Chains A and B, each alone.
Chain A
Amino acid sequence: MDFLILAQFLLAGLSAGAVYALIALGFGVVHNATGIVNFAQGDFLVIGAFVAYTLLVSWGMPYWVGFLGAVLVSSLVGLFLERGILSRARSKEVLLLVFITVGASIFLRGLIKEIWGKRPLILPPVEQGSEITLGPFRMDPQYLWIIGVAVLAFALLHFFFRYTMWGKAMRAVAADREAAALMGIPVPWVVAGSFALAGALGGLAGVLVGPVWPLSFESGVHIGLKGFAAAVLGGYGSFGGALLGGFLLGLLEGIGAYLVSSYKNIIAYGILLLVLLVRPQGLLGRETEERL
């Protein structure tokens, strides 16, 4: 019986891990294009989830519309953050740009509160009311949806970075901005595209997790921090690192929640600190940072 409960926690941990990995990838994409940490990444997730809520619950649209709408709107928010705000900054110093995203995050939270109110919202699940039972083991199918869709997204992204022109351009900009520009790659558009992609990843994470975690206008901060921690744990800016860091952090949390539920955050961040002390570049990061 105990084992079954542990399995439940592990499944919940894995699905949380998939969400963290999606956010960590969003952090990584932006970092590779610009070198900054985008602290509004978590707010993209909340925006995605709430847009889906409006489409699904308030307007009664089918699920795929909610899905596409969420991804589209949050990627537009990402695009606007770069084109409308960050690209106008007088100084391109990393520290300042990072704190402009902090300002953007406060702004977005205020906006979300204005539009959707202070109450936590919960999305309807993809499949209504069906609970999967395997003998005595019961689970919410939404967990499988989260993991499945996230893995599909990782596969598509991998394909995107390997084989498409845009993906290759993003990698080229990450490797060497000047050389990429000299080769005729429109660097500003690639940077803007990276923010749109980060927004889309956030929105996707939002729709997926919305049915399991009640989200409110402030939720973006703490979920975003977990994603940031996952990115650092795996090695900042590395594709494999984001996946590894995300799933590892999710599992750690799941196990922590099983052992002492109120200390799960302390355990997760404590282990992160220890890893950083032993491997200052993260698990998969190299001394000269490996990038997507």
Chain B
Amino acid sequence: MKAFWFFTLFILLIPFVVHNPYYLNVLAFVGLYFLVTMGLSVFIGYAGQISLGHGAFYAFGAYGSALLSIYTGWDPWLATFLALVFTTLGAWFLGFFILRLRGHYLVMATLAVNLIVYFLLVEMEEITGGVSGLPGITPYCIFSYCFDSDRRNFYLIWAVALFFFWGLLRLLSGRIGRELKAIKASEQAVRALGIPVLRYKVATFTFSAFLAALAGALYAHYLTFISPKSFDIFYSVEVVTMVLVGGAGSLWGALLGSFFLTPLPQVLSFFEEYKDIFYGAILMLILIFCPEGMVSLKLRRFLRR
């Protein structure tokens, strides 16, 4: 836990050193990605399944909250709360059906969910604004204090992310963490012990979907503009890649993966035309030579509480 408090201090101090709004924007996005990857890391690392459909939940959070607040004029906090409730219930319901599928079939089913949501966002133009997007989303406000700058959103996003990070670290070091680890080690043995495996899988799936939706809502009210392109399957692939590059099943791995891959495309834009080639090559190299992710490099001993 010491590492966690050091990290919190580090995040708190960043805006005092970094004043450039563009860098703060990138760092706020690291926080948004981290929210999604920490949930996915538990789902992938412990339940041992992949979802390439979390872009759909990210979209539900963002569009749900934005549309509710635009069409009803409700306060963004309330709209976000309702969007999260609906998305979580939906994910839970979907999870019970979809998590009976295995391996490639589950990958395809989650991809299909994401593709359908994406095409719906594009096609239902009268409601969602279609490809040209949905402008005019109001930012979160507490009385007259509005989260309308990069710096304020940086703090808001990281406060939420750190809260869940802290909670998950505590949770995984307890009984639930042990049971999840056991499921990963041997599903049959755990089932024989009477632990409801499917229920655990559905729970981790639902929780990761909730975090993705939360990140989506924070994203929508931060940028005040959303378009379907941010919620396509490339997003889903990107977050899973972050989890694997960082190290699946480790929250610190999810953090490292988010910190490394979020700014990478911007950094690589230095190479202009060649940036995709470099990005692909870097991904392959990490996954080939460092299969347990970046956490396994040197930091592991230090981070192990």
| Contacting residues, chain A, for B198 (C-beta < 8 A) | none
Residue A88 CB within 8 A of the other chain:
yes
The answer for the CA separation of A225 and B108 in the assembled complex, in Å, is: 9
The answer for the CA separation of A104 and B156 in the assembled complex, in Å, is: 36
Cβ proximity bits B46-69 to A, threshold 8 Å, 1 near / 0 not: 000010000000000000000000
User: Which one of B97, B109, B244 contacts A99 once the chains associate, using CB atoms below 8 Å?
Assistant: B244
Contact between B115 and A269 (Cβ–Cβ < 8 Å)?
A: yes
Residue A100 CB within 8 A of the other chain:
yes
Residue B287 CB within 8 A of the other chain:
yes
The residue of chain B having its C-beta at the shortest distance from the C-beta of A118 within the complex is B273
The answer for the CA separation of A269 and B115 in the assembled complex, in Å, is: 8
Contact between B281 and A272 (Cβ–Cβ < 8 Å)?
A: no
The residue of chain A having its C-beta at the shortest distance from the C-beta of B287 within the complex is A100
The answer for the CA separation of A270 and B115 in the assembled complex, in Å, is: 9
Within 8 A of A (CB), among B247-292: 248, 273-284, 287-292
User: Which one of A89, A108, A265 contacts B291 once the chains associate, using CB atoms below 8 Å?
Assistant: A89
The answer for the CA separation of A222 and B276 in the assembled complex, in Å, is: 18
Contact between A99 and B104 (Cβ–Cβ < 8 Å)?
A: no
The answer for the CA separation of A186 and B282 in the assembled complex, in Å, is: 31
Contact between B241 and A102 (Cβ–Cβ < 8 Å)?
A: yes
Output the least CB separation between B271 and chain A (Å): 10
Contact between B109 and A107 (Cβ–Cβ < 8 Å)?
A: no
The winner among B50, B244, B281, B288 for most chain A CB atoms within 10 A is: B288
Given contact pairs A106-B276, A113-B273, A281 touches B105 in the complex (Cβ within 8 A): yes
Query: Which of B79-87, B116-124, B220-228 lies on the face that meets chain A?
Result: B116-124
Within 8 A of A (CB), among B132-183: none
Output the least CB separation between A287 and chain B (Å): 11
Residue B113 CB within 8 A of the other chain:
yes
Given contact pairs A96-B287, A99-B244, A106 touches B105 in the complex (Cβ within 8 A): no
User: Which one of B119, B284, B289 contacts A104 once the chains associate, using CB atoms below 8 Å?
Assistant: B284
Q: Binding site of A, secondary structure by majority: helix, strand, loop or mixed?
A: helix
| Contacting residues, chain A, for B113 (C-beta < 8 A) | 273
Residue B112 CB within 8 A of the other chain:
yes
Residue A91 CB within 8 A of the other chain:
yes
Contact between B291 and A93 (Cβ–Cβ < 8 Å)?
A: yes
The residue of chain A having its C-beta at the shortest distance from the C-beta of B245 within the complex is A99
Contact between B105 and A85 (Cβ–Cβ < 8 Å)?
A: no
Contact between A266 and B105 (Cβ–Cβ < 8 Å)?
A: no
Residue A149 CB within 8 A of the other chain:
no
Output the least CB separation between A282 and chain B (Å): 7
Contact between B276 and A107 (Cβ–Cβ < 8 Å)?
A: yes
Residue A109 CB within 8 A of the other chain:
yes
Contact between A85 and B279 (Cβ–Cβ < 8 Å)?
A: no
The answer for the CA separation of A232 and B110 in the assembled complex, in Å, is: 12
Contact between A273 and B237 (Cβ–Cβ < 8 Å)?
A: no
Contact between A102 and B237 (Cβ–Cβ < 8 Å)?
A: yes
User: Closest 6 interchain pairs by CB?
Assistant: A107-B280, A110-B276, A91-B291, A103-B283, A106-B280, A110-B277
- Sample of 13 A–B contacts (CB below 8 Å): A89-B287, A96-B244, A99-B283, A103-B241, A103-B280, A110-B276, A110-B278, A111-B277, A114-B273, A266-B116, A269-B112, A273-B116, A280-B105
Chain B residues with a Cβ under 8 A of chain A: 44, 50, 97, 100-105, 107-109, 111-113, 115-116, 119-120, 123, 233, 237, 240-241, 244, 248, 273-284, 287-292
Q: A99-B240, A229-B108, A272-B112 are in contact. List 17 more A-B contacts (CB 8 A).
A: A37-B104, A37-B107, A85-B284, A98-B50, A102-B237, A102-B241, A104-B284, A107-B280, A110-B277, A113-B276, A225-B115, A229-B112, A236-B104, A263-B119, A266-B119, A269-B115, A282-B105
